[in-house]
Structure 1
Amino acid sequence: MNVLIVKLSSLGGVVDAMPAVQDILSELPGTQVDWVVEPDFAPLVRRCAGVHRVIECDLRRWRETVFTADTRTAWRAFSSDLQYECYDAVLDLQGLSKSALVAKMARLSPQGLRYALANQTEGASFEAPTRWVSDVAIPVEPRIHAIDRSRVMCARALVYAIPEKLSFGLAPHIGQELRATKSIANTFFDSGTLTSAPVVAMLHGSSRADKHWPDEHWLELGHRLNSLGYTVAFAHNNDEEQWRSESIASRLGQALVWPRMGMNALTDALGECLGAVGVDSGLSHIAVALDLPHVQIYNFDTLWRTAPQNNDHQISVFAEPTPSVDAVWNAWMQASALAALRGDSTH
């Protein structure tokens, strides 16, 4: 059976859809799974175990340059790539007009069907017309975890029981980009500090300011991690995040600000860490998918929708207006200790 997943964005949403792919491959052996995704997230999907073909769709950019020759050429190439295979099932996990358009363009086998979400779920974007252009609309519970939303939809569409084990199929690998990153980072320290000290990633960035944890809290957490011999590493995705990273790191004894990296290098770098502490963001979702010891910080109660699931070494901390340093520190100590008991902290 040939299956096409349509999940174009966002970073966290793409990561959260990976367990559904692992379910399909586990419960329907021999299935070929292709995935349509935006170019920024394509490197991550290519690392998802079992994905046969990754089809890049840059609708966001094409809408802005619709009348240019380059865009027309790119659109024709995308259409050709999308229609290269016939699919027995096209699963629109996004629930938006842009994903419905892609699903509609895909080529079906004689008995093939297009599946879409039948209803909106709390906290997730949804555009009702998407269900009208599908062959089958799959109802899901209106209050459901983001990971479960994709898993439930796929299981109901393709008729299998959801496996008890949750797997993302995202394994770190060491590549040339990471080695280059380590070389750059080592210039911040004297002779090999990075290679001798375990690294904890500090994932403070978010596109939403209301998800931020105060800089002084990050600084205090960094001091406590330094006191245990850990190096802390700050990731960033834009100039403001870089400025915050450098401001905090400059006041710590053993800290570095990673260079701005592509998705592959960033995932590799996270995979080399002992663990991570972060706000609810796409990078935190990658850390969870890599099965790192992780503490996820929440300023409001959306844990039911995006928190790590069923992992004693991945802990969420919620408080209003924001969790204290002590609360996050205690969660980190618990997560890292339980991971060590499991033998997971071998990075």
Structure 2
Amino acid sequence: MRLLIIKLTSMGDVLFTLSCIADIKARLPDSQIDWVVDEEFAGLVRFHGGIDRVIALPLRRLSRDRKISDRVRDIAAVIKGFFKIRGQRYDLLIDMQGVIKSAVVSWFAKSGQRWTYTAPHLESPGLARWYTNFWEPARDLPAVFQYRVFAGVALGYTPDLNQTQFEFKKEPALVSAAIGTQNAGPGSTALLVPFSSKEAKQLDNQGMSVIVTTLRTRGYKIALVAGSEAERQRGLEIASLSNYEVEMIYRPIEHFDAFRNRLADFGICIGVDTGITHVSAAFGVPTIGIFSISAMQTYGPHHWAPHARSLHADDPQLIAAITEMVTQLPTAPSLADSSNTGWHTDRPLP
């Protein structure tokens, strides 16, 4: 069976959708799966062992204000991607995005079974005419489970929601100059993700400086993710407030392969509801997810990762709760202890 999955954006949602691949391969081991994704997040999909072909389209980049020559190049890349889709016959197609862009992608695909969400859950109800089969989202389920159930309904099986497996590829870490390692050892660094494209999700600098200080007293180096110059400046302010050196990991989504190869360095991740936080949890890093405007019940990593916890950002005791969790973790592994292979891969948070 040849399947086409369409999930274009964003990183967290693409990650959640990848959880259904292990289910599909367990029930249909001979199935071949193609995946259409925005070029910005293609690195994550390519690293999954169950995807046979990744078709990356520069749709986000195409919508930005850029030089005419760049836009022409992007349009050509999109057209080339459409020809790839059109050149294959699919037994079944699942559009898990449900927006106009994904509907256009699905229109180019040859398939007799074309699944998406019911009309009220599409970006425009009129898009439903481009599909043959529909699934009513189970809003009471966490997002990861929703995607797994959707795939199961389309393919005729019931997933076991008691465990979630992402089954990313296993390969030696690659050396990359895109992100410096600062001689970090396995599990010796704490990854902080305090910023988001949505201002309401972000954590305040003073609270983050307290977390940095607590982590440093436990022996952890500090790495902080920044996705823009403004976030990088805020990261420097956090470092100044805590009076500790902080490594800045700048725009990791653009350098995903390099960031992925750093994951073994991280003994803990503390972050807001954003893609990098969820990716860290999926790769086995003990993770504390912090949620504000988004629903913890839907997106909290604690639902599917036994080594993750989720907290409310508006809890007045948030910083105290985080510092208590941190103090219950082991001290950071000694950088000189090369035998330590990263306790964080199988150790749950307290």
TM norm structure 2: 0.85
SS of residue paired to 1:51 = coil
1:160/1:236 Cα in 2 relative to 1: closer, same or farther (>3 Å)? same
Aligned equivalent of 1:78: 81
Q: Quick one: percent identity of the two aligned structures? A: 24
1:165 to 163, 166, 173: 163
Distance 1:332 1:168, change over 3 A: farther
What is the Cα deviation at residue 334 of structure 1?
5.4
The Cα of 1:54 is off from its aligned counterpart by 0.3
Residue 325 of structure 1 deviates from its aligned partner by 1.1
Alpha-carbon shift at residue 95 of structure 1 (Å): 0.9
**2:54 match: secondary structure:** strand
1:155 to 152, 156, 162: 152
Across the aligned residues of Structure 1 and Structure 2, the Cα RMSD in angstroms comes to 2.7
Counterpart amino acid of residue 322 in structure 2 = V
Change (3 A) 1:197 1:136: closer
Aligned pair count reads 329
CA distance in 1, matches of 2:15, 2:316: 25
Q: From the superposition, tell whether residues 170 and 37 of structure 1 become closer, same or farther in structure 2 (CA, over 3 Å).
A: same
Distance 2:85 2:286 in 1: 38
Q: How does 1:175-324 map to 2 (within 5 A)?
A: 175-177=174-176, 181-182=179-180, 185-186=181-182, 192=183, 194-195=184-185, 198-250=188-240, 251-261=242-252, 262-300=255-293, 302-308=295-301, 309-320=303-314, 323-324=317-318
Cα shift at 1:259: 4.2
**Offset at residue 289 of structure 1 (A):** 1.1
* Partner-residue secondary structure (3-state), 2:113: strand
| Residue 107 (structure 1) aligned to one of 102, 110, 115 | 110
Please give the residue correspondences for 1:46-125 in structure 2 after superposition, counting only pairs within 5 Å.
Answer: 46-62=46-62, 69-108=72-111, 112-118=112-118
Q: Indicate if the aligned counterparts of 1:40 and 1:263 stay in contact, CA closer than 8 A.
A: no
Contact kept in structure 2, 1:89 and 1:114, CA below 8 Å? yes
For each residue in 1:264-305, what CA deviation from the matched residue of structure 2 results, as whole angstroms up to 9, or x when unmatched? 112222342112000111111111111210001123561111
Q: Distance between the aligned counterparts of 2:90 and 2:170, measured in 1?
A: 30
Taking the aligned partners of 1:343 and 1:144, their CA distance within structure 2 comes to 25
CA gap of 1:101–1:271, structure 2 versus 1, over 3 A, is farther
Looking at structure 1, the residues matched to 318 and 286 of structure 2 have their Cα atoms a distance apart, in angstroms, of 19
Residue number among 319, 323, 328 corresponding to 1:325 in the alignment: 319
How far did 1:323 drift? Answer: 5.0
In the aligned structure 2, how far is the partner of 1:115 from the partner of 1:196?
43
Q: Any idea what the Cα deviations from partners look like across 1:23-60, whole Å, max 9, x if unmatched?
A: 11112111111100000100111001210000012233
Measured against aligned partners, the alpha-carbon deviations of 1:107-145 in whole angstroms (never above 9, x if no partner) come to 22xxx3110111556xxx743233221011122223332
Cα 1:22/1:99, change in 2 over 3 Å: same
1:161-202, Cα deviation, whole Å (9 max, x unpaired): 10342012235751122x6633xx53xxxxx5x348810100
- Assess if the C-alpha contact under 8 Å between 1:297 and 1:323 holds in 2: no
Tell me the SS of whatever aligns to 2:98: coil
**Distance across 1 between alignment mates of 2:119 and 2:139:** 7
Deviations, residues 324-346 of structure 1 (Å, cap 9, x unaligned)? 21111223455779x9598449x
Change (3 A) 1:149 1:224: same
Matched with 1:34 is 34
- Structure 2 gaps of 5+ residues are 332-341
Amino acid at match of 1:175: L
Gap change, CA 1:120 and 1:336, over 3 Å in 2: farther
CA change 1:325–1:4 in 2 (3 A) is: same
Distance across 1 between alignment mates of 2:149 and 2:330:
31
Q: Is the 8 A contact 2:289 2:309 kept in 1?
A: yes
Provide the rounded CA distance (Å) in 2 between the counterparts of 1:137 and 1:223.
50
